[in-house]
């Protein structure tokens, strides 16, 4: 295993560990309630407030809480799933039939995207508006383009081996 493969493997495992820590922390913070229940409670709170003739405040509370919960769970799942994909890339790295420099550039882009995307999703909680969404979208796009490039090399490699 090359040193770059080792770096990718270690980075992926650290990301998985981070995702697990985020999941454990979030689960404890919400007292082990599940997302559908938490979101439903948000809507119930809105209904209760509406009964007290304050529908506008109710909606704002519901909107904020639902928005935050969705993003935390999204960040948790995406870190772990994308890190698993990164681990797979690290394993098949020698089979990717591309020049070493291009392979490395693509894998750096993939790693960067995998780190930026969940950070952008979490940033959306604190920075409302297009800027945080743009960061998340840029991270996701980086992941897609880099992974597409690596797959192209992998398919070329496997075609050459057959």
- Give the whole-angstrom CA distance, residue 103 versus residue 125: 34
Residues that bind other proteins (CB under 8 A): 1-3, 5-6, 9-10, 13-14, 16-17, 20-21, 23-24, 27-28, 32-37, 40-41, 43-44, 46-48, 50-51, 53, 55, 58-59, 62-63, 66-67, 70, 77, 80-81, 84-85, 87-88, 91-92, 94-95, 133, 136-137, 140-141, 143-144, 147-148, 151, 154-155, 158, 161-162
Residue 14 exposed, middle or buried by CB count within 10 Å (0-12, 13-18, 19+): exposed
Q: Residue 63 or residue 100: which is nearer to other proteins going by CB?
A: 63
* Half-sphere CA count of 144, side-chain side, radius 13 A: 6
CB of 60 or CB of 102, closer to other proteins: 60
User: Considering the complex, what minimum distance in angstroms separates the CB of residue 94 from other proteins?
Assistant: 4
CB of 105 to other proteins, least distance (A): 18
Residues 162 and 148: their CA atoms lie apart, in Å, by: 21
Contact between 107 and 150 (Cβ < 8 Å): yes
Q: How far is the CB of 27 from other proteins (least distance, A)?
A: 7
User: Closer CB to other proteins, residue 105 or residue 157?
Assistant: 157
Least Cβ distance, residue 24 to other proteins (angstroms): 5
Q: Which residues are CB-contacts of 112 (< 8 A; sequence separation ≥ 6)?
A: 139, 142
Task: Please say which residue, 127 or 155, places its beta carbon nearer to other proteins.
Answer: 155
- In the complex, minimum distance from the CB of residue 41 to other proteins, in angstroms, rounded to a whole number: 7
* Percentages (nearest 5) of helix, strand, coil residues in the chain: 90, 0, 10
For 116-128, the DSSP string reads HHHHHHHHHHHS-
């Amino acid at each position: 295993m090359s040193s770059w493969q080792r770096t990718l493997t270690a980075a992926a495992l650290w990301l998985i560990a981070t995702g697990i820590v985020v999941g454990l922390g979030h689960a404890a913070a919400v007292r082990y309630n599940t997302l559908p229940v938490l979101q439903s409670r948000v809507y119930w709170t809105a209904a209760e407030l509406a009964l007290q003739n304050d529908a506008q405040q109710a909606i704002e509370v519901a909107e904020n809480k639902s928005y935050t919960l969705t993003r935390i769970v999204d960040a948790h799942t995406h870190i772990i799933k994308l890190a698993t994909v990164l681990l797979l890339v690290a394993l098949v790295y020698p089979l990717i039939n591309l020049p070493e420099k291009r392979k490395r550039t693509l894998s750096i882009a993939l790693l960067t995207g995998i780190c930026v995307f969940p950070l952008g999703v979490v940033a959306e909680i604190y920075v409302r508006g297009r800027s945080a969404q743009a960061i998340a979208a840029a991270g996701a796009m980086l992941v897609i383009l880099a992974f597409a490039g690596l797959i192209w090399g992998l398919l070329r490699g496997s075609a050459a081996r057959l």
